[in-house]
Amino acid sequence: MDLPTPVGRRPVPAYAGILLAAGEGRRFRASAGDEGADKLLAPLPDGRPVVLAAAEALRAVAAAVVIVLRPGRPALRDALARAQGCELIETIEAERGMGASLAAGARHLLARYDRGAEAVPHGVLVALGDMPWIAPDTLRAVCEAGLRHPIVAPACEGRRGHPVAFAWGLLPELAALDGDTGARALLQRHGVHELSCQDAGVLRDVDTVADLG
């Protein structure tokens, strides 16, 4: 199944977004030869930091975006202050890995919408802060496919990538995650609909300085 074309003809289904931006980036620091280097703050050719580009792309399709950080990263918070419509949360639990970060974001969203002041989204779109090259049409198409499947991920050249869309009913399971395996257990339990695309951005992340080129 290929991505549908002009998605702008109909509204994107309502999704909240979780952007995971709490990783340590050890390989990037090693490749830069600088213990203070932060891949999420590295500038792209248009001058934007990697994490800001990823946040703005997610915000373009999500009604609300929660960005999960680990404490003690003021430069990252400052960069993300430019991301309109995004809420930053810090959690020491991020030290336990991606699963713990994702759980913190899921719990935050559950608490936010449990208050009843806002309509509950159809689902949540989980993206990574070091993946700024995903095309807007891909993000929209993943959301649209989420109307028919509980978990959706794009796949390019036979490889599954990001972001991953989860139905809202799966948020309690996301909120119970821990450790560094992300949502792998959920994907195995519920299955994943892979949406075929030609967007290499769903696989491309920033791991070393060379990846910025």
pLDDT tens digits for 141-174?
Answer: 999 999 999 999 999 999 999 999 999 999 999 9
Amino acid at 180: D
DSSP SS3 for 29? helix
The mean of the pLDDT values for the chain is: 90
Lowest mean pLDDT among 36-45, 76-85, 114-123, 199-208: 114-123
Q: How far out from the chain centre does Cα 111 lie?
A: 19
Lowest mean pLDDT among 19-23, 36-40, 176-180: 176-180
Q: What pLDDT does residue 2 have? A: 38
Q: What pLDDT does residue 12 have? A: 65
Of 202, 2, 178, which Cα lies nearest the Cα of 102? 178
The backbone torsions φ and ψ at residue 144, rounded to the nearest 5 degrees and listed phi first, read: -65, -40
Return the number of other C-beta atoms located less than 10 Å from residue 59's C-beta. 18
- In the numeric block, which tokens belong to residue 139? 């993000």
pTM over 0.95, yes/no: no
- As a whole-number percent, the residues of the chain with pLDDT over 90 amount to 74
pLDDT classification of 209: cutoffs 50, 70, 90: very high
